[in-house]
Structure 1
C-alpha cells in the first residue's frame, strides 16, 4: 500500500535519503583522501605503489558490495527494512570512525593497511545493504506510476554524499597548514571522526520511521520469504534476471561513475598537478550540475519506461 499524501512520501524520502547520504559520505572520504592515506598507511620509498595499493583497498569496498546487498537484502526480507537500515548505518559509521583512529604505518607497521582493509570491507558490506534497501523502502511507499521519480531521490544521495565529503575536506584543509593536515594524527582524520556525529543524527531520525507498508502487509499475511537467497538464485529464470541486472545494467553505470569522479581526481592531482583545493572545486561544480538530472530522468522513466532511459 503506497502513501498517497505529499507530506507522507516526503518524510519517507527525507528519512531514507539522509541516512544513505551519510553512508555515501563515509564511503567516499576514503577515495577523496587517497593520496594522503597512501602516505600514512604504506611504507615510504615508492609513492606510486603506495597510491595504487590505497586505491586497491578503496576498490575492495565496491567488490564486496554485492555480498552486502545479498546479506542485508535477505535480512530486510526477514526482519524488515527499518531495523536493517539501522544496522547498516551503525556498521558504516563505526567503520568510518575507526579508520580515523588507525595509527600510521610508522607506528604499527603492516597492521595499519590490514586494519584499514578490514574496515573498508565492512564499509562495502554496509553500503551494499543500505543503498538497495533504501531504494526498496521508498519504492514500497511510492504511488503507482511514480516510483521512478521518488526512488531517483535516493540516487541523488550518491552525488550529494560526495558533495558533502568534498565540502568537509575543503573546509578542514582550508583552515590549517599542509603540514598540520598531512601529519600522522593531522586534519585528514577529522572527516572520518565527524562521521560519528552525522550517524547519531541519522539514527535518531530512522528510529522514528515506520516499517514499509508492503512488508508489514506481507508479514501480517505470513507471506514473507523464508529463504530469499534460494528463491532468487535457486530458480533459473530469477538467477538469469539477477545476472542481467548486475552485469548488464549496474556494472556499466558503476564504471562510468567512479571513473568520472575518482580517476578524474587522481589524474588532475597527480598528472596535471592541479593543487588540492582547485582540484576539489572542479569536482564540486561537476557534481552540482549533474545532481538534478537524476530526478529528471527518474521522472522521465515513469513516462517512457526504465529500459529506454537506460539504453539512451
Structure 2
C-alpha cells in the first residue's frame, strides 16, 4: 500500500530558501575578491610585461608584486568606512556597496592600456584600480562573515562560516580554471592580452552578486539591536572598551594573512623558480589542493560546532611556527610528492587558523561586531598579507636563499603565538548580548 509523502511545512521551506539566499549572497562578493587576488598572482608575469617597461624582468615582477601589496594599504580605510556603515546602517547596505565598487575596479583592470600605449601612466592606472579594490575589500570579507553568522542558528555558526569561507577557495579555484582556459585558448597570446578576459569576467560576477544581495533581508541580530539601541560610534567604543581584544586579533590576522597570501600570491611563482615546474603544472597542482581544502574546512566546521573553536586555533598556530621551514625544504627537492606534501602543510595551517574568524565575531557585541572584525583584519592584512609576495621575493633576491621566506613566516608566527593562545573558547556565546 502506498502512503502519500508527508507535506513539508511552508515555514520550513521558506527557512531553507532563506538560508540558501543568505549563503549565496554572503559568498559571492568573497568569491570575487579572492578570484581577483588569485588571478593577479597567476597573471603576475603577464601584468608585469604589460604595465612595466621591458628589459628587466626581475624589476617588472617586483613592480607587479608591489602593486599587489599596495592595494592592501587602502583596506584599513575601507574597514573604517564600511565598518561604520555596517554597524550603523546595516550589514546588507555595506555589502551591497562593497561589491559594487569591487566589481567596477576588477573589470577596469581588464580594460587598462599598457606601457607601450601610455607609458608611465599604465602602472599608475593599475595602481589606482588596485587601491579601489583594496578599499572595497576592506568591508567585504568581514561583512560577509558577520552577515552569515548573524543569520545562522546558534548551533551551526561554524558550518555557516565554513560554507561562506569556502567561497575563498572557490574564488581561487575559479581564477585558476579561467586562467587555464584562456591559456589553452590563447596560447602565447595570454601574455599579450588574453589575461584581460578573466578580469572582465570577475566584473560580471560582481554584478550578479549585487542583485543577489538586494534580495535578502537584514540579519535578525542587527534588527533586534536597532530596535532597542541608538546607532553606535563603533570605533570609539572599540578603542575605549576592546583595545586588548583588538591587539590579540591583529596578531591572529597577521599570521592568517601572511600564510594565506603566501600560498595564493607568492607560491605559484616560487614553485616555478624553485622546482622548474611549468606554470601549467603549478596551476593544476594548486587547483587540486584548493578543491581539497573545501571538504576539509567543512569537516573542521562540524568539529568546531560540536567541540569548540579554540583547539583548532592552537593547533594551527603551532603548525605555522613549526612546519613552514620543513615545507619549504620539501619544495626545494623538486619531487612532486614532496611538493604536494609541503603545500598540504600550508593548507593544514590555514584551514585550522581560519576557524578563529568565528571566535572573533563571537567575542564582540552586536553594535561593534562588523567594525571589530574589519579593523584588525584589514590592518594586519595590509602589513603582512598584501606584502607577503613582495617581501618574500625581496628576501630571496637579497639573501640568495630560497628558504628566506620560510624563516620570515616562522618568526612572525612565533612572535604572535602567545597572543593566539589567549583567544578564548566562544562556542555557545549569545550574539544578541
- Would you call these one fold, judging by a TM-score over 0.5? yes
Q: 1:206, CA displacement in angstroms?
A: 1.2
1:100 aligns with 2:114: no
1:296 aligns with 2:299: yes
Residues 1-312 of structure 1 aligned to structure 2 (within 5 Å): 5-178=15-188, 180-183=189-192, 186-225=193-232, 227-233=233-239, 235=240, 237-247=241-251, 249-312=252-315
Distance 1:261 1:22 in 2: 14
Q: 1:147, CA displacement in angstroms?
A: 1.2
Superimposed CA distance per residue, residues 220-262 of structure 1 (whole angstroms, 9 cap, x where no aligned partner): 224331x1111112x1x40121121111x11111112222233
Mean CA deviation greater in 33-42 or 203-212: 203-212
Q: 1:257 to 1:23 in 2, by over 3 A?
A: closer
Structure 2 SS opposite 1:181: helix
The aligned residue for residue 320 of structure 2 is none
- Quick check: 2:41–2:266 contact (8 Å CA) kept in 1? no
Higher-Rg structure is: 2
Distance 2:278 2:56 in 1: 21
Structure 2 SS opposite 1:175: helix
Distance 2:108 2:42 in 1: 17
Q: What is the TM-score of this pair, normalised by structure 1? A: 0.91
Distance 1:311 1:257 in 2: 17
Structure 1 SS opposite 2:124: helix
Distance 1:123 1:286 in 2: 26
- Quick check: 2:37–2:265 contact (8 Å CA) kept in 1? no
Distance 2:63 2:167 in 1: 28
Mean CA deviation greater in 203-212 or 130-139: 203-212
Superimposed CA distance per residue, residues 54-88 of structure 1 (whole angstroms, 9 cap, x where no aligned partner): 11111123343333223211111121111211111
The aligned residue for residue 7 of structure 2 is none
Distance 2:197 2:68 in 1: 19
Distance 1:28 1:87 in 2: 22
- Quick check: 2:38–2:265 contact (8 Å CA) kept in 1? no
- Quick check: 1:16–1:134 contact (8 Å CA) kept in 2? yes
- Quick check: 2:41–2:268 contact (8 Å CA) kept in 1? no
Superimposed CA distance per residue, residues 253-274 of structure 1 (whole angstroms, 9 cap, x where no aligned partner): 1112222233220012234332
- Quick check: 1:21–1:157 contact (8 Å CA) kept in 2? yes
Distance 1:128 1:28 in 2: 17
Distance 1:109 1:306 in 2: 51
- Quick check: 2:23–2:160 contact (8 Å CA) kept in 1? yes
Q: 1:208, CA displacement in angstroms?
A: 0.6
Superimposed CA distance per residue, residues 278-308 of structure 1 (whole angstroms, 9 cap, x where no aligned partner): 2210110111112222222222222232222
Distance 1:307 1:33 in 2: 37
Q: 1:39, CA displacement in angstroms?
A: 0.7
- Quick check: 2:114–2:122 contact (8 Å CA) kept in 1? yes
Which ranges in structure 1 are unaligned for 5 or more consecutive residues? none
Mean CA deviation greater in 287-296 or 84-93: 287-296
Q: 1:158, CA displacement in angstroms?
A: 1.0
- Count of matched residue positions in the alignment of Structure 1 and Structure 2: 303
Instruction: Give the RMSD, CA atoms, in angstroms.
Output: 1.8
